[in-house]
Amino acid sequence: MNNMLLVFLGGGIGSVLRYFISKIFNSYFQNFFLGTFLVNIIGCLLIGIVLGISFKNNLLSQNHTLLLTTGFCGGFTTFSTFAFESHSIIKSGDFLFFTLYTLLSFAIGLLAIALGLWLTKL
């Protein structure tokens, strides 16, 4: 029960923060959801840092790791939103933005996780 509460709390905080970031940044470009893109990249970096710290020297308890990764990062990142917005871009016929949005999200997301893990090795 304690684990579910941690995930619930972290997910709620992450979801609210995602909402605000998307609200602010998604209106900058037509057909490129900058807020969702930023949230996914920041979430990848954060999960890399948290797991790196957790794996490296056990500075975080299992509860802290659960709260921050499954809870916060799970609520904060938006893959289902990303998929829906990608579908919307395809429907609009803007294949250049679709390609750019998709490739940048995956490539920079993977790099952000690697950076987070690398930063915790310093």
Q: What is the mean pLDDT of the chain?
A: 92
Q: Does the structure show a pLDDT above 70 at 50?
A: yes
Higher pLDDT, 57 or 118: 118
The predicted pLDDT at position 27 comes to: 87
The two three-digit tokens of residue 48, written as one number = 């890399």
Average pLDDT score over residue span 54-74: 90
CB 72 within 8 Å of CB 9: no
- The annotation places the binding site for Na(+) at 74, 77
The predicted pLDDT at position 46 comes to: 93
Q: Does the structure show a pLDDT above 70 at 108?
A: yes
| pLDDT tens digits for range 19-36 | 999 999 998 887 789 999
Q: pLDDT exceeding 90 applies to what percent of the chain?
A: 75
pLDDT band, residue 122 (cuts 50/70/90): low
Separation in Å, CA 40 to CA 10, 72, 85, 110: 16, 12, 13, 10
For the chain, how many structural domains are there in total? 1
- The annotation places the binding site at 74, 77
Question: Which residue range forms the structural domain that includes residue 103?
Answer: 2-119
| pLDDT tens digits for range 74-97 | 999 988 788 888 998 999 999 999
